[in-house]
Structures are given as C-alpha cells and as structure tokens.
Structure 1
Amino acid sequence: MGDIGAPELLIVLVVVVFLFGATKLPDLARGAGQALRIFKAETKGLREDDPKTQPPTL
C-alpha cells in the first residue's frame, strides 16, 4: 500500500476534470505554479538570512 501507479493517477485526473472542468484547469495550474515560485523565493530568502548558513566574516 502506498504505491501510486498510472491507473490511480488517471482516476485522480478524471476526478479533477469533473470537479473543476476542463476550462478551469489551466488557471489552477497557473496559480499553483505561481504559488510554488513565491514559496521557493521566500524559502531562499530565509536561507540567506540564516546566520548559520552565512560564511564567517573576518
């Protein structure tokens, strides 16, 4: 249990299309991509602000 194969992914895709409709899927994907880019930028900023990851200054 826990292995996701092609049939399971296909079922999930069909359910998503039925729930949101084919016209909304590009908007959902665009929003998810934008959210992921923002999240990635914020976590990068946090790592740059972390004093543990900064090289020591002389």
Structure 2
Amino acid sequence: MILQPTLLFISGGEIAFILFIAVMVFGADKLPEIARGLGKGMRVLKDATNDIKHEITKTAEKNGIDTSITKDITKELNEAKENLDDFTGSVKRKL
C-alpha cells in the first residue's frame, strides 16, 4: 500500500474544501493579496526571531557564557529523534 504524505494530517479533499470556503468568503480576487500578506508577516516574524537569537548569542559570547552546551544538547536531541524515526519507521500504521 502506498502511503501519501499529508500536511498536518489533512487530506487533499479537506484542503480543497478549505480553499473552496476561503474563495467563497474572501473572493478569488482577494486571496492572492491575503496570501501575500501572510507570507510577509511570516517573514517578518522569522527575521525578528533570528535577530533575537543573534543578539542573545552575541551577548552571551560578550559576557563569556559558554554557548557550546546548547549545540551539544541540540546534537543529542537530533540523534535521539533520528533513532526514534528509525525505530518507528517499521512500526508505522498502514492506512
């Protein structure tokens, strides 16, 4: 059986229904404008998050705080996630 990837556990039919409702509520001419605004908002949020991370890292290095421990923790978490993915890969339920 072929498993189809889903976005947030939403099937294609549900996505089509949501798009249909969006077109009915906002109109086809407004959807690109709304999508563009959402994209810009997400970009601003990502840039702000990156700026905050950069400032925290810069301040920590300036004050002599060792930031390598966070890299070690991130590395360990990624390894654990990979091991869990390998383990659950054979156990995934079939649809």
- The alignment's TM-score, normalised by the length of structure 2, stands at 0.51
Deviation (angstroms), 1:26: 0.9
**2:28 paired residue number:** 22
Code of the aligned partner of 2:20: V
**2:11 paired residue number:** 5
Deviation (angstroms), 1:4: 1.1
- Uncovered stretches (5+) of structure 1, i.e. residues with no partner: none
- Uncovered stretches (5+) of structure 2, i.e. residues with no partner: 1-7, 65-95
Deviation (angstroms), 1:3: 2.9
Code of the aligned partner of 1:19: V
Of structures 1 and 2, the larger Rg is shown by 2
Count of residues in Structure 1 that have an aligned counterpart in Structure 2 = 55
**2:39 paired residue number:** 33
Code of the aligned partner of 1:38: V
Q: Which runs of 4+ in 1 moved over 3 A?
A: 53-58
Code of the aligned partner of 1:36: M
User: Which is bigger in relative contact order (C-alpha 8 A, separation at least 6)?
Assistant: 2
**RMSD over aligned Cα atoms:** 2.0
